[in-house]
Amino acid sequence: MSPELMSAQQIAKELSETPPSSAISLQMSVDNYLDVIRGVVDLFANKKEMDTIYVTATISSDAIRRVLEALDIDASRVYFVDCISHIMMGASAAQQDEHTTLVESPTMLENLMLKVEYLIRRSQSKDKLVVIDSINSLAIHNNNWILSEFLHILVSGLRSRDAYTVILTVEEHSTPDINNMVSLVCDHGIRAGKQEG
Amino acid sequence: MAQRTSDRCATGLEGLDTILYGGIPRSNTVLLTGSCGTGKTSLALEFLIHGAIKGENSLFVSVTENSEKLLQNIIPYQFFDRGLIKSGRLVFVDLPIMYERLGMTKPELSMEEIDLLVAAISNLAKELGTKRLVVDSITSVCYKLKTSEKIREFILKLSKALSDLGCTSILVGEVAADSTSYSSFGVEEAIADGIILMANMERRGDLLRTLQVIKMRGTMHSRAKYVLDLTPVGVLLVPLLKGGSTG
């Protein structure tokens, strides 16, 4: 019998036990994506009154916004760096407001870092959270060399700014190479999916 | 080479100051060069605004665009305050107007006129107590000088005059996108104390804006290539990821 999926409360509790400037690898299943969102954005970041910079490379910011709305999660502190709408030719549909910044393509990893940096500087909240959703989606568009380099520079930069980084990994789509790459830059790992540690 | 912070003119662009180990050595003349659309004017303007905010009088000598149009480009900067212009900390001068006042109506300037132009710019800088100056673009001035000798003479004299005033200067240069040289006439790059190259770099179909410090006399500096973004909080820089670099 496979282990139970971690609940949103458990995910938030584990995140709360990590100090600011931590980089956390959050391995999830496609089946508990909604719990992960609730745990990370609502029960962790919103509860701590911190701004969330949500880097989305899997589904559009519009779609995540709708998910947040459906889950009745306050999105007023969530700022999206959307790497997927433009490449899907859905940029015109995506809202381009102060809560959403578009990156032309998930291959433009430097631009992704620059947008995160811009939002970090603009943020007024004391603590900040950066969510990468997900490393597997970024791996579709980038080779492991450039992705490792990107993670290393991004996480180091965020650590120096005392921001939390949460890197989402979808266990059904992951590979040992990707898992190693993430664990190399992270201080903590949370297994919220089905696979045993 | 270790230098005191006071010997540096901190540009105020955090990333660039890190690349330059604290800023441009004071009184240096730097060639900021690149093809169109790479962000040269924005970077140069930001350099002046940060100077003005710090209380250093700053002068923008505009050759190609009129000042009013330039001011429209400043407005998106969150840190820009029009009071800097009202107080005289940040001054804009249109060189074509200066040419007119000096009676320089011919398409090519003589050696005497070059001296006159250098004197006019340096006198203005002296009068205003300028500590930071930008000429945008030096290439447009060079088109009125025509020969390498005249260009050399003009840049050497201007650099010397501004350096004597303790003024740190940026000369904006324009090169063609496919140019392998750092300047249009090949002279500017040899005379400047520093060269900052801005470019558009294509990688797998993506066009990235890049910045690289090629040389900077009087300081150690990074020679790596950085990717930049022009944002309302100013120019932001991150290292170019080498895993996917083609060049």
Most confident of B1-10, B221-230, B238-247: B221-230
The pLDDT of residue B1: 46
Least confident of A55-64, A88-97, B17-26, B59-68: A88-97
Q: How much is the ipTM here?
A: 0.90
Average pLDDT over residues B32-38: 94
pLDDT class for B186, splitting at 50, 70, 90?
A: confident
How many interface pairs between A and B have CB atoms less than 8 angstroms apart? 56
**Quick check: B244 pLDDT over 80?**
no
Query: Is a pLDDT exceeding 70 seen at residue A150?
Result: yes
CB contact under 8 A, A145 and B244: yes
Nearest to A149 among B206, B233, B242 (CB): B242
Residue A1: the pLDDT is 47
CB-nearest to B241 from A118, A121, A150 is: A150
**pLDDT confidence tier of residue A87, bands split at 50, 70 and 90:** confident
Query: Any CB–CB contact under 8 A between B241 and chain A?
Result: yes
Domain spans of chain A?
A: 8-191
Quick check: A76 contacting B, CB < 8 Å? Answer: no
Kindly report the pTM of this predicted structure.
Answer: 0.92
Average pLDDT of the residues in B205-224: 96
Residues A146 and A138: beta-carbon distance below 8 Å: no
A149 interaction partners in chain B (CB closer than 8 Å):
241-243
Which long-range contacts does B19-23 make (Cβ < 8 Å, 24+ apart)? B19/B213, B19/B221, B19/B222, B19/B224, B19/B226, B19/B237, B20/B213, B20/B216, B20/B219, B20/B221, B21/B219, B21/B220, B21/B221, B22/B219
The fold of A8-191 is: Rossmann fold (3.40.50)
- Could you tell me which CATH class the domain B28-202 is placed in? alpha beta
CA distance B120 to chain A (A): 41
